[in-house]
């Protein structure tokens, strides 16, 4: 009877364990040696009943010992530990002071002084000194830009037999009017052997609607700043444009369909026109002179940028086709 009872208990115990595994039960058990965490597999467990009273249960579950979960991963031989490399803290670049500019002046390094002042002015790095910096820049550029003295931004060209201004200008991708202006030369008279200063590089225009200013750059350095008028009711567009065409003594084609040649009382374009390349929904914009000088410094145009005639004529000489124009608020 004892054997039968034990046999029945073993069968009952086996069925009970089988029932637990059949329902995918997760269980944990403690042993004297280690903690074991196990999860049953999707397959039914295999149960075997040995002789006597011992019941042994075999299963295909993956067993993970809990102490192994807490342990650090083993390192392969020959491998090195990975160390976190901290990125060095970059030092904030200090704004050059006017002292270095004064030092360059004393050393006769006017070109370097101009470039530092240009960066300070364009990026407004010393706001309280903007007016003073502009005055220094204008004084420097009278010599570096608006004179025939050699500078790093220019090439000195020797006039050859048969040369004409237009041909020389085309050779250097500039305007003959600019060569005439900075060399103070007659447009029709050249002497063989004459030295001509020819500015080289790329021009760019920065327009600030809020300040009513137009800043001319050469090779990203300040050349000159002009006062302007802009469009009423915020009509002057913001963005990046390029010069599409240039015209002296332009005819005005009014929005109402009127055509007014240069000199006509209703022609408001002044002495020069520099038109922007059209964009979707943005066409007919440009920079021009004005017959209304009192409108400079105000928002009163139909969307174009107005300048005094003397200023727009000077700007016109610098600007080439495809010159970049950036208009900001």
Helix axes 176-183, 309-318, angle to 10 degrees: 110
Contacts of 218 (CB under 8 A, 6+ apart): 145, 153, 199, 201, 202, 203, 204, 318
The CA distances from residue 72 to 36, 68, 83, in Å, are 18, 8, 16
Active site residue 304: yes
Phi-psi region of 98 (alpha: psi -120 to 50; beta: other; left: phi over 0): alpha
* The two three-digit tokens of residue 25, written as one number: 């039960």
For residue 69, give Cα distances in angstroms to 29, 61, 82, 94.
Answer: 16, 17, 21, 52
Collapsing DSSP states into helix, strand and coil, what is residue 273?
A: strand
Element (H, E) at 68: helix 66-70
Of 67, 221, 264, 304, the active-site residue reads 304
Given the residues 67, 221, 264, 288, select the one marked as catalytic: 288
Determine how many CB atoms are found less than 10 A away from the CB of residue 290: 24
Give the Cα separation of 241 and 236 in Å (integer): 12
CB atoms within 10 A of CB 101: 22
Tokens describing residue 311 = 């200023």
Catalytic residue IDs: 288, 304
């Amino acid at each position: 009877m004892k054997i039968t009872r034990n046999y029945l208990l073993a069968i009952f115990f086996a069925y009970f364990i089988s029932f637990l595994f059949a329902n995918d039960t997760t269980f944990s058990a403690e042993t004297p040696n280690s903690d074991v965490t196990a999860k049953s597999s999707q397959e039914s467990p295999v149960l075997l009943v040995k002789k006597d009273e011992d019941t042994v249960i075999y299963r295909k579950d993956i067993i993970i010992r809990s102490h192994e979960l807490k342990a650090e991963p083993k390192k392969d031989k020959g491998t090195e530990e990975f160390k976190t490399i901290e990125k060095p803290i970059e030092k904030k670049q200090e704004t050059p002071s006017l002292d270095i500019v004064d030092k360059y002046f004393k050393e006769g390094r006017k070109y370097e002084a101009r470039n530092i002042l240009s960066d300070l002015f364009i990026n407004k790095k010393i706001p309280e000194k903007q007016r003073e910096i502009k005055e220094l820049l204008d004084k420097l550029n009278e010599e570096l830009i608006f004179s025939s003295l050699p500078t790093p931004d220019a090439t000195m060209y020797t006039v050859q037999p048969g040369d004409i201004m237009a041909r020389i200008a085309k050779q250097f991708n500039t305007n003959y009017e600019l060569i005439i202006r900075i060399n103070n030369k007659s447009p029709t008279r050249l002497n063989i052997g004459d030295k001509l200063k020819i500015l080289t590089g790329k021009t760019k225009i920065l327009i600030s609607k809020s300040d009513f200013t137009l800043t001319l750059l050469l090779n990203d350095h300040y050349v000159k700043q002009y006062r302007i008028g802009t469009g009423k009711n915020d009509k002057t567009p913001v963005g990046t444009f390029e010069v599409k065409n240039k015209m002296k003594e332009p005819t005005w084609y009014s929005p109402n369909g009127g055509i007014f040649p240069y000199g006509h009382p209703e022609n408001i374009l002044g002495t020069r026109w520099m038109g922007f390349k059209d964009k979707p929904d943005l066409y007919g914009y440009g920079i021009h002179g004005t017959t209304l000088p009192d409108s400079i410094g105000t928002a009163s145009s139909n969307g174009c940028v107005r300048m005094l005639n003397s200023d727009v004529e000077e700007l016109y000489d610098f600007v080439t086709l495809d010159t970049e124009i950036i208009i900001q608020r």
